[in-house]
Structure 1
Amino acid sequence: MAINGKALAAGLVVLAAVVAVGFYYKGGGKGAAKPKAAPLVSVTRAQALDLPVRIDSQGHLVPLKQVDVRAQISARLRAIHFREGDDVRAGQLLFTLDDAELEAQLERTRAQATQVKAQLEDAQRALSRGRELVGTGYISSSALDTLAANVKTLEAQRRGAQAEIDAARVQLAHTRIVAPMDGKTGALAAYEGSLVQAGDSTPLVSLLQFDPIAAEFALPEQHLDALLAARERGQVQVRVQAPGGKMLDGELFFIDNRVNPATGTLQLKARFPNPGHALWPGAYARVELLAGSDPGVIVLPPQAVLEGPDGHFVYRLGDDRKVRAQAVTLLRIQEQNAVVTGVGDGDQVVVEGNQNLRDGSEVQVADAPAAGGTP
């Protein structure tokens, strides 16, 4: 059977290509694929240090005392004796309400009391005469009893009249509204000539205490044991950052009685002297809490600690130049150190080049010869 020339030529070409490829791999041609180089990483050793337990937190400044000043009677506001934003002292007059009607009421009760007093004195004289006459038979015993009952009735009326006088005086005193404490006044909600009502939901003015002032902040629950132990030893210190960066010392005075399960945090309060009113209620506060010392804690550079779906971990280098993913607990970042548990003092941990590693990866340590390389 005749063989087509073109088919024969194509077959020879394919055969030549197969022979060439086989020769290339057998002979180890210059273009042969090389094994992939191990990734280059930098490592550091975990260190055990004695560190102060310093916890940074954020919160807000709040007044230790706040009073909403309201009228206790309904009357026209006659005078305001301060300006909005003034610092006032306890007992200082703030408002005067119109007292004309209450003055008239007080005079009426006094007049009624005077009338009752006169009637009582007349009844007492009549009773005294009756006691003298009952022995002579000029009046009967029942008439004497009537005189005595009249005296008791008028005595009761006198006590009632005196109570009305006292009540009128109290109402009249409510026309002078004074500051119940030292503080700074806020915005006014009423002005001279306004009719103020007893029981209004909106106060006439609010007073806030500025000195001392408090900071409310949250503490992660993992620090609670250290805080309580330091407080027992009297080693708790707290500071707040004032405008300009200056840190002011204060006193921790409140630890909430439960951890918030939704946030895993505990609410705390600390008080700070504020004579110059540099700290302002409602403002953001950066708080620093010192809770004694933490001996022998393990620290790493923060960039060595990675976070995955199951939490924080590091890549620990073994003697075989392979890395293993090691779960750790990140307690805090302090003084440019990550304070962790889960690794030991002296363990080698990858600090650079760890982003693309996998558990069990063989690595090349910077400034060290690669595996299989020439020393």
Structure 2
Amino acid sequence: MAGLPVLPSTVLLLTLHLASVQNQTVDYNPDAHLSTPQLVSKYGYPVESHTVLTSDGYFLTLHRIPHGRHNATVYSGAVIVQHGVLSSSADWVILGPDKALGYVLADAGYDVWLGNARGNTYSRRHVKLTTGTEQFWDFSWHEMGVYDLPAVVDYIVNTTGEQRLFYVGHSMGTTMFYAFLSERPQYNGKIRAMFSLAPVAFSSHMTNPLRAFILTRGLEAFYRTIRNLGVMNVLSNSDPFVEIGRRACRDKSFAKAVCGNILLVLGGLGSSQINASDIPTILGHTPAGTSTKTFLHFAQLVKSGRFCQFDYGPDGNSRLYGDVKPPAYKLDNLKAPISLHYSDHDSLASHTDVLLLHKQLPNPIGYFRVPLREFNHLDFLWGKDVRTLVYDYILELMSKY
């Protein structure tokens, strides 16, 4: 979950203040202001943009890399690659060729489809609703799983002729997948195998400092306050405070120490995996925005210790679900092979919670520790050694399916 919804302006104003007393800047990298298709094209890969309509009226953008730079003769299959919260398809190409997962998969012969969940930079249209309405933002990762992923899978199957797809997800990209197969078990037959990077389902053992804020009902109070103010989405790419922070983070002497910690505070501080020179480019694309309800749903998982649907309170739950508690997701419906990849220093996806998920999956491939102690939540995306530590092993596993 790449982002902090609670104190964005405070953190970014601190960043601006620190920038005012420094005089060295990171070299400008135009990649920070290129769209995902522009990035892919710049580095010599073929790229396509596709629009998918969900059954509840949202238009989603898919970015496709149909093959590698050299159009490998070996075709390995089609794969959906799904970002986490506050992120976008850009996550998977920011590091560039031979490093970023989108390119690694394409060069290995895969037809790569980079997803964009409703509400992010590339998926902000609806057949009737506008982003200025409360109804547009009335969703969490539950709707992403129940509506977005079925539409995406059907579209790719129909477009490519492939009847079964691979799926790789990071953080919320895993959460929405578990909700997807729980509520749409008929899609198990369309998934070859799923690979979870920093899996998030059960969350009560997270070690992040945000946990205390959640347990004291702080996030719920924050949600009620901003909802009363009509604020239904957070940290969009056009947020002026976000742009201030991006400009400030070009300062070389604190880009790693301050801006890096803004990125890493939720994933687990202490990693040396993200290069300071990459931070301005990362912040050019992240955060990409989502609904405030998405964050509240995650907070509910932390408080309840359950992997369950959105909690509307006893009265709301009774009306919607027929019970005072929201129903738990049916993990025994997840028949597709699922591989779980976790790290010691991930303060969001703890080993204890990943193990609990693993024990409840009916067809797990296994759960695998990243062999680097300080590796954290966001290193699965932008760590300088992520290819050798994670991606190459995933390619090996994928070859077996």
TM-score tier by shorter-chain length is under 0.3
Structure showing greater radius of gyration is 1
Structure with the bigger RCO (C-alpha within 8 Å, sep 6+) is 1
State the TM-score, normalizing by the size of structure 2: 0.16
More helix by proportion, 1 or 2? 2
More strand by proportion, 1 or 2? 1
State the TM-score, normalizing by the size of structure 1: 0.17
